[in-house]
Amino acid sequence: MIEMAKMKAVQFENKNGYQLVGILHEPFSGERKKAGVILLSPGVKMRVAPHRMYLEITEKLVELGFSVLRFDFYGLGDSQGEVEDKLLADLYGRIQTGMYVDDTVAAMDWMQAECGLDKFIVGGLCGGAITGLLCGIKDERVDSLIGIGIPVTLDSTNMDRMETLSTGYLDRLRKGYVKKIFDPKSWFRLLTFQSDFKVMFKSLHSSRKPSNKKVEEPDECEVRGNYNHLFTDGFLSFAQTSRRMLLVFGGADRLLWEFEEQFMSRYAEKLKDYNEQYLEFHKIENANHILSLPEWKAEMLGCLEGWLKRHY
């Protein structure tokens, strides 16, 4: 259990001289794994993550013999520095393009010096997952990626959210609205203007129209304006160097449809060479983005444990 592990507060500098604050967890006894784990902040929830997800992940990792570092990126939590973005969408957009990759490199430098580890499993939820993926392009010490609800699109206040909703997500919404026709609570929300009418009308007037046209090259595809091409760079970097990825999505997470429609379907040919030995994909039925229910989190932890036991 996490209470049985050696746990201490730590500080280290990033390349700009800001002090980054974190917690290092190490097993008390038993054989320590040769790879360290760095759980990266998903965003403003920092080193704990929503519903204390990272604490539960850390408990499982320490139980398996891993040393684990959780830390706050600069400008967040207890770490030094300031975030210039005034709106969350813009901050998330910068995270999705590598804002905190250098902080991740600094964390690996510190763990290598203090713990004697030279390869790392990195990642986490959402922004932590994409940060870990992009760090893998830059640093060969990244041995594997844990990606929970990893985004393949970019957030920004300059983006029209209505224009970038995936067809799969709209299809799910439409089915949900139909089921709620006889639900008094839903009618109350509708009549008191608590519903999102723009999303509702878009979902009801859209339909999935699969194309029969075969896509030969991803570069020729017409992708939505908010697709993050850095995701492709990072993914293919892992694939070409035979590094492993565990990707977990909630079945009700809109990021799952974006991943399937904007990446998986368009890069199907290239992904054939990246076999199951290196890429493991797991969907938790009906789960939301942050896996808020205990049973959803338990399924994710079970999947993570099995993956780690097979490869480490």
Whether the per-residue pLDDT at 202 is higher than 90: the answer is: no
pLDDT in tens, 115-146: 999 999 999 999 999 999 999 999 999 999 99
pLDDT at 212: 40
Scored b (16 or more CB within 10 A) or e, 100-128 reads bbbbbbbbbbbbeeeeebebbbbbbbbbb
pLDDT at 271: 77
CA 117/CA 26 separation, integer angstroms:
12
In DSSP notation, 101-145 reads: HHHHHHHHHHHHHHH----EEEEEETHHHHHHHHHHHH-TTEEEE
Q: In percent, how much of the chain has pLDDT > 90?
A: 65
Neighbours of 171 (CB within 10 A): 15
pLDDT in tens, 217-261: 444 444 457 899 999 999 989 988 999 999 999 999 999 999 999
CA separation, residue 110 to residues 12, 56, 106 (Å): 7, 23, 6
Q: Which CATH superfamily is domain 2-156+224-311 in?
A: Alpha/Beta hydrolase fold, catalytic domain (3.40.50.1820)
Residue with the two structure tokens 């896996």: 291
Helices marked H in 206-267 — which ranges?
A: 229-240, 254-259
Which sign, positive or negative, has the C-alpha torsion 156, 161, 163, 166?
positive
pLDDT in tens, 91-124: 999 999 999 999 999 999 999 999 999 999 999 9
21 forms beta bridges with: 11
pLDDT at 150: 98
pLDDT at 186: 56
pLDDT at 203: 44
For the chain, the domains span 2-156+224-311, 165-205
pLDDT at 169: 46
pLDDT at 178: 56
CA atoms within 13 A on the CB side of 33: 21
Query: Which secondary-structure segment (H or E) carries 184?
Result: helix 184-191
CA angle 129, 131, 133 (to 5 degrees): 70
pLDDT band at 20 (very low <50, low <70, confident <90, very high): very high
Global confidence as pTM: 0.80
Strands (E), the chain: 6-13, 19-26, 36-39, 68-71, 120-125, 142-148, 244-250, 279-284
